[in-house]
């Protein structure tokens, strides 16, 4: 079902259900396949043996055109599942960790050729799997106390080697969730042992998590693109999440779902959560802090610019264009080249055909409405929300564009979402 399903939210739901299966799910994956030699998991993720040289490295070109997107879907599903299963498996823990190690061994390989390249899209999917696992609170039935610290350590190792800024942003979210003190465990440490903070001696010593700024600063030092505007902003917001213990205000689990749902306002700080996830699926953008709303908006815009195309052979080169630590000029100086009003019926415009002179990213204009198979269109309500933030005088640190230009852009994005192509003069 997962490899054949075209809808990303449905594939993600499938992965999360399988990932909650623990030992039984992992055992079934390791059973012999009825349709091919080997077991079900290896046939999907490692079809040519544990080295996985051909399936995950180099180009997808060895597959037929009809199979490329199907291949990308199944590999993304496996990348999501690997951390989810590694964090929930108990009896088969060693085997699950060995599988996770095989994937982590490929992170950072950036040279074309057999065995020397790991696609950025797969790097991102693996990091997302870590974040989905980190979203499980201590009371979650598949959040094993003995595994949490191990998974956080592996995420930190991946952060050191990851090439893509979006991978690093995602891992910072995951590490922040694992660092989050759970209200239900306030009198216990992370392994469930009773702490000594209540006595005089315990109150005089440093305790884990008491300095969020230093913790997050260490993560940013590990990240190769720690100074990327989006990664740096994610770090600042992670500090706020740790200080307030309200991650739903400063982090998100899935960009697509959070911008497509208004959701509800953030809960009171004194109100304990009754669910098993730090950030539930029902969370929408209204719960986010204004800075987080602006960050997720521009993150999704940039990913939409890069990930358009008919298949992975087109997407990967564009992802490599935005792999660097700076932003396109249309995000920092002038958003007119994005021109989001185009539709499928208009004249075709190639990526890079509308860029500002000197921009090395070569991605403008924005993809026509209706051609967005990988990420998500931004809803009218979300775009109007961006206008409201600008009207309140709020602008992200990387936005040196005149406010009127940003307001015009988000008005055009809102009109795009409801199928209107009228220009706006907000001067």
Helical ranges in 307-421 per DSSP H: 312-321, 329-332, 380-391, 403-417
**Alpha carbons 283 and 248: distance in angstroms, whole number:** 7
Q: Would residue 198 count as lying in a domain? A: no
The Cα-based distances of 409 to 139, 215, 330, 344, 361 in angstroms read 44, 36, 11, 19, 20
pLDDT at residue 191 in the model: 44
- 46 within domain boundaries: yes
Mean pLDDT within 401-405: 92
**Using an 8 Å Cβ cutoff, are 143 and 208 in contact?**
no
pLDDT of 50 over the 50 cut: no
Together in a domain, 284 and 342: no
Kindly state the helix (H) or strand (E) to which residue 13 belongs, with its residue range.
helix 8-19
Torsion sign, CA atoms 257, 261, 262, 266 = negative
- Tell me what the mean pLDDT of segment 199-211 comes to: 52
Percent of the chain clearing pLDDT 70 (strictly above): 77
- Domain match, 160 and 36 both: yes
Residue 205 pLDDT > 70, yes or no?
Answer: no
DSSP 63: S
**From CA 191, how far away is CA 334, in angstroms rounded?**
50
Q: Rounded to whole angstroms, how far apart are CA atoms 182 and 192?
A: 11
Helix (H, G, I), strand (E, B) or coil at 150: helix
Alpha-carbon distance 251 to 221, whole Å? 20
- Cis status, amide bond into 365, omega within 30 of 0: yes
Q: In whole angstroms, what is the distance from residue 43 CA to residue 35 CA?
A: 10
Whether the pLDDT of residue 132 is over 80: the answer is yes
Angle, alpha carbons 391-392-393 (nearest 5°): 90
Higher pLDDT, 75 or 70: 75
Q: Are residues 396 and 258 in the same domain?
A: no
Pick the range with the lowest mean pLDDT from 171-175, 265-269, 297-301, 307-311.
Answer: 265-269
Residues composing the chain = 427
Same domain flag for 98 and 156: yes
Find all residues with CB under 8 Å of 420, minimum gap 6, and list them.
none
Lowest mean pLDDT among 48-52, 84-88, 165-169, 296-300: 48-52
Residue 309, in any domain of the structure: no
Are 397 and 382 a contacting pair, CB within 8 Å? no
* Shared domain check, 148 and 31: yes
Number of domains in the chain: 2
Provide mean pLDDT across the span 315-331.
Answer: 90
Q: Are residues 254 and 399 located together in one domain of the fold?
A: no
Q: Which tens digits make up the pLDDT trace of 4-37?
A: 777 777 888 888 888 888 888 888 877 755 665 5
- At 55, the pLDDT band (50, 70, 90 cuts) reads very low
Q: 403 and 264 in one domain?
A: no
Same domain, 289 and 160: yes
Position 114 scores a pLDDT of 54
Give residue 262's domain range. Answer: 8-181+211-268+276-295
**Are 324 and 127 within 8 A, CB to CB?**
no
- Residue 192 forms part of a structural domain: no
Q: Give the Cα separation of 126 and 114 in Å (integer).
A: 20
Q: Which pLDDT score is estimated for 74?
A: 85
Q: In which band, very low, low, confident or very high, does the pLDDT at 368 lie, cut at 50, 70 and 90?
A: confident
Give the 3-state secondary structure of residue 327: coil
User: Do residues 47 and 134 share a domain?
Assistant: yes
Average of pLDDT values for 103-112?
Answer: 87
In a shared domain, residues 131 and 56: yes
Flag whether 347 is in a domain: yes
Residue 130 lies in a domain: yes
The pLDDT assigned to 261 comes to 87
State which H helix or E strand residue 212 sits in: helix 212-222
Which H or E element spans position 303? helix 290-306
Mean pLDDT of 186-195: 43
State residue 131's pLDDT score. Answer: 97
Distance CA(338)–CA(340), nearest Å, equals: 6
* 341/241 same-domain check: no
Instruction: Say which residue, 70 or 412, is predicted with more confidence.
Output: 412
In angstroms, what is the C-alpha Rg of the chain?
A: 22
Give residue-wise pLDDT tens across range 151-174: 999 999 999 999 999 999 999 999
* Max mean pLDDT range (120-134, 193-207, 347-361): 120-134
Assess contact for 160 and 127: CB atoms under 8 A: no
- Spatial CB neighbours of 121, under 8 Å, sequence gap ≥ 6: 72, 76, 307, 312, 315, 316, 319
Condensed to tens digits (0 to 9), the pLDDT of residues 217-230 reads: 999 999 999 999 99
* pLDDT of 62 over the 80 cut: no
pLDDT value, residue 61: 47
Calculate mean pLDDT across residues 344-356: 82
Per the domain annotation, does 350 fall within a domain?
Answer: yes
Q: CB neighbours of 281 closer than 8 A, spacing ≥ 6?
A: 253, 257
The answer on 367 and 246 residing in a single domain is: no
The verdict on residue 196 lying in a domain is no
| 401: Cβ contacts below 8 Å, ≥ 6 apart | 332, 333, 334, 335
Q: What backbone phi and psi angles, to 5 degrees, belong to 426? A: -105, 10
């Amino acid at each position: 079902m997962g490899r054949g399903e075209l809808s990303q939210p449905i594939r993600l739901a499938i992965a999360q259900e399988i990932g909650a299966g623990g030992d039984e799910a992992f055992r079934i994956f390791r059973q012999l396949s009825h349709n091919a030699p080997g077991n079900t998991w290896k046939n999907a993720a490692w079809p040519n043996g544990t080295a996985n040289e051909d399936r995950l490295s180099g180009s997808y070109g060895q597959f037929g055109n009809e199979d490329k997107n199907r291949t990308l879907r199944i590999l993304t599903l496996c990348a999501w599942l690997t951390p989810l299963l590694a964090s929930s498996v108990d009896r088969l823990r060693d085997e699950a960790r060995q599988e996770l190690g095989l994937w982590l061994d490929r992170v950072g390989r950036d040279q074309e050729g057999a065995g020397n390249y790991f696609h950025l899209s797969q790097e991102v999917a693996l990091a997302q799997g870590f974040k989905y696992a980190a979203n499980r609170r201590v009371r979650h039935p598949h959040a094993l106390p003995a595994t949490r610290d191990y998974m956080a350590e592996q995420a930190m190792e991946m952060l050191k080697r990851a090439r893509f800024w979006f991978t690093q942003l995602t891992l910072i979210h995951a590490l922040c969730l694992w660092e989050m003190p759970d209200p239900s465990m306030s009198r216990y440490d992370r392994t469930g042992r009773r702490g000594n903070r209540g006595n005089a001696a315990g109150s005089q010593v440093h305790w884990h998590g008491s300095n969020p700024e230093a913790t997050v600063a260490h993560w940013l030092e590990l990240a190769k693109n720690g100074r990327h505007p989006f990664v740096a902003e994610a770090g600042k917001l992670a500090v706020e999440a740790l200080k307030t213990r309200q991650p739903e205000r400063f982090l998100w689990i899935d960009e697509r779902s959070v911008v497509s749902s208004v959701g509800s306002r953030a809960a009171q700080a004194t109100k304990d959560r009754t669910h098993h996830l730090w950030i539930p699926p029902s969370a929408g953008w209204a719960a986010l802090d204004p800075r987080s709303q602006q960050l997720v908006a521009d993150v999704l815009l940039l990913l939409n610019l890069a990930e358009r195309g008919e298949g992975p052979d087109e997407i990967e080169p564009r992802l490599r264009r935005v792999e660097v630590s700076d932003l396109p000029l249309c995000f920092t100086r002038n958003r007119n080249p994005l021109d989001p009003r185009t539709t499928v019926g208009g004249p075709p415009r190639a990526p890079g055909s509308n860029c500002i002179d000197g921009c090395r990213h070569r991605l403008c204009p924005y993809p026509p409405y209706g051609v967005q198979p990988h990420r998500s269109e931004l809803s009218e309500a979300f775009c109007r929300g961006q206008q409201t933030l600008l009207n309140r005088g709020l602008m992200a640190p990387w936005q040196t564009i005149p406010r009127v230009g940003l307001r015009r852009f988000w008005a055009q994005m809102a009109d795009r979402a409801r199928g209107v192509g009228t220009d706006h003069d907000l001067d």
